[in-house]
Amino acid sequence: MKKILIVLAVISLVLAAGNVVAKDWKKVRIGVEGAYPPFSYTTADGKLEGFDIDIARALGKAMGVEVKLVPQDWDGIIPALLARKYDAIIASMSITEERKKKVAFTNKYYQTPAKFICKKGAMKEFTRAEVAEATQGKKIGVQRATIHDNFITDNGAKDTVIKRYATQDEAYLDLAAGRVDMLLADSVAMAEGFLKKPEGQGYQFIGPDLTEKKYFGEGAGIAIRKKDTDLVEMFNKAIEQIRSDGTYERIQNKYFNFNVYGD
């Protein structure tokens, strides 16, 4: 009898655990950066705006859930997800094998190449094979703990000085002030966030489009805790829905004049 009671207790615990996993998602908290224009930024009156922000709200509507946006510095964005500060990350996070070890990802919701920028006329063009030679003796700015940081750490010259920043805006300020020679980041983020602004008029893209899967992944996806497989499925269905019903295109055209989704 005692053994039967123990077995029933174990079964009850397993069923209870199953009920926790099969959560009824009515509200989804989404971690966002708020410092990566045009994808995510904070307006002067404190409102969150940008492509990622609009996509997050559109996906919430498609899923029929309430969305709460939670601003979070990039450095701690995955640890905060794992600590349950929010349920998903929509912050232009590239889907990489390294990140897959910690979190699950949805399918991509956009994909754009990385590039370098520098002062106009300061350097000659270079190919992917010439990255180490081109960065020799240069000070290069990147946002800390990003795919761009990983790429230049592995592929820059031995004497390349890498300056790491908490936000992309801080990197722009140092480039304009002459404290770094080059920046490496997403090409669209730099075009919209710096090159098209008055302070970016004396600067240009340089070098190749960088898209290697090893470093730059499979596009930007939504990061979710591995156990929340039902939420991954919900987001994937919502991405398909907004792509098919015209919502994605309307959001895209608000910020870009090209296909940001990629091939």
Note the pTM of the prediction, 2 decimals.
0.86
For residues 49 and 127, state if they share a domain.
no
For residues 207 and 231, state if they share a domain.
no
For residues 149 and 187, state if they share a domain.
yes
For residues 39 and 105, state if they share a domain.
yes
Residues of the domain holding 44: 25-111+218-255
CATH classification of the domain holding 64: 3.40.190.10
Q: Which of 22-31, 97-106, 139-148 has the lowest mean pLDDT?
A: 22-31
Task: Band the pLDDT of 18: cuts 50, 70, 90.
Answer: very low
- Is 6 a domain residue? no
Question: Can you give the pLDDT at residue 50?
Answer: 98
For residues 131 and 212, state if they share a domain.
yes
74-112 pLDDT per residue, tens? 999 999 999 999 999 999 999 999 999 999 999 999 999
For residues 88 and 170, state if they share a domain.
no
Token pair for 145: 């703990």
Task: Band the pLDDT of 23: cuts 50, 70, 90.
Answer: confident
Range 225-230 contact pairs with CB under 8 angstroms and sequence separation of 24 or more: 225/81, 225/82, 225/84, 225/87, 225/103, 225/104, 226/103, 226/104, 227/21, 228/21, 228/23, 228/87, 228/104, 229/21, 229/104, 230/21, 230/22, 230/23, 230/25
Separation of alpha carbons 217 and 108, rounded Å? 10
For residues 209 and 128, state if they share a domain.
yes
168-204 pLDDT per residue, tens? 999 999 999 999 999 999 999 999 999 999 999 999 9
- Is 2 a domain residue? no
For residues 41 and 100, state if they share a domain.
yes
For residues 125 and 244, state if they share a domain.
no
Mean pLDDT for 253-262 is 95
Task: Band the pLDDT of 263: cuts 50, 70, 90.
Answer: confident
Q: Count how many domains the chain has.
A: 2
Q: Tell me the CA distances in angstroms from 204 to 24, 31, 114, 116, 120, one per residue in order.
A: 49, 32, 14, 8, 5
